[in-house]
Copies of this chain bind each other. A is one copy, B any other.
Amino acid sequence: MRELELIDWICRQSDFDPKRVPVGPGDDCAIVQLGSEQLLVTTDQVLDGVHIKLSEHGAEAVGRKAMARNLSDLAAMACVPLAATATVSLPRSADRNLAEGIYNGLRRLCDEFHCPLVGGDIAFWDGPLAVSVTAFGRRAGVTGGIEPVLRSGARTGNALCVTGSLGAAWRTDRHLHFTPRIPEAVCLAMTYGVKAMIDLSDGLGTDLRHLCAASGVGAELDAAAIPIHEDALALVYGDTAAALRMAICDGEDYELLFALPSRLAKRLCQAQPLPVKVTQIGKITADKSILLKYPDGRSEPLTDRGWEHTT
């Protein structure tokens, strides 16, 4: 049984009043109507032995990653944090340092993003450490704010871009230290007319599939353009093909993948207004397949799926 199958099943059970829940499960955040305001909501957990190793990475890294994953989901909608909550289940052997370390990890990232940590629950049990975070967001900007960016807005002919460089994030410690791309996302949505966006948690291959499925389109990736992280290249001693596979499949990069009109993408890639590099890596196509195009003209369907926990 795979998580994605279960999540699909759950999404199919949902039947929301669009006036109360304009966007339900299946995007990076849900959108809930509260009076005249729109509330964004996302939730994610970090489990010892699955997403992190407590004994190796330490308590503060657990707290930080749990919060960062959620704030990255707000970034994917080009929204800003409003508040967050966390529940922590601690092994009975845990001492006060462990509990405080987790809290400090959560809290420091919250402070960095002006996101008050307004509630939580702590319980001791016979299981391993688990931290579950829920983050709330609001529209960016004043007087109504800008529309949240969904996965579903990509249109044929749009350029496909990515922030930063990809691959080997969980083989190194980058999955612990990434910074959610919130100001970057807001700038992209406000100034460059980004139409569809997702954060790269499961990997470029899988997350592009999600974005295309939500938009009812396909994509063509330019293999030579995909920005490969130097960590990936170093791990395979410069073997570009192997490193490219990591960039497409590894996941946990927490960079932004987004579609926008191609003339705006050109302007964006020329201006490079963000603290992180933006690269055009392909384009959106009407044909629903996802193709990887090599410099020699060959192209093949992208069958590699990104990182996903399986039973």
Partner-B contacts on A (CB < 8 A): 1, 3, 6-7, 9-10, 13-14, 16-17, 20-21, 24-25, 29-30, 32, 34-37, 39, 41-45, 47-51, 82-83, 85-87, 89, 92, 94-96, 99-100, 103, 107, 116-128, 130, 132, 134, 136, 138, 309-311
Contact = CB atoms under 8 A, between A and B. Distances in A.
Given A45-B132, A89-B130, A134-B85, A1 B99 contact: yes
A223 to B, nearest CB: 31
Contacts of A310: 124
B10 A103 contact: yes
A156 B85 CA distance: 34
B29 A87 contact: no
A311 B94 CA distance: 9
| Copies of the polypeptide in the assembly | 2
A85 B133 CA distance: 10
A120 B35 contact: no
Contacts of A37: 34-37
Given A45-B123, A49-B126, A92-B311, 14 more contacts: A1-B99, A6-B99, A14-B116, A35-B35, A39-B83, A41-B118, A43-B121, A44-B87, A45-B121, A49-B125, A50-B123, A50-B125, A121-B132, A124-B309
26 contacts: A1-B96, A1-B99, A3-B123, A21-B83, A21-B118, A24-B118, A32-B118, A34-B37, A34-B39, A36-B37, A39-B39, A41-B118, A43-B119, A43-B120, A44-B87, A45-B89, A45-B121, A47-B89, A47-B123, A47-B127, A48-B127, A49-B125, A89-B130, A92-B311, A124-B309, A127-B130
A311 to B, nearest CB: 5
A265 to B, nearest CB: 30
Contacts of A85: 30, 41-43, 134
A27 to B, nearest CB: 9
Contacts of A134: 43, 85, 134
A87 B12 CA distance: 18
Contacts of A13: 103, 107
Contacts of A1: 94-96, 99
A36 B39 contact: no
A58 B123 CA distance: 21
B87 A138 contact: no
A92 to B, nearest CB: 6
Contacts of A123: 3, 45, 47, 50-51, 309
B41 A138 contact: no
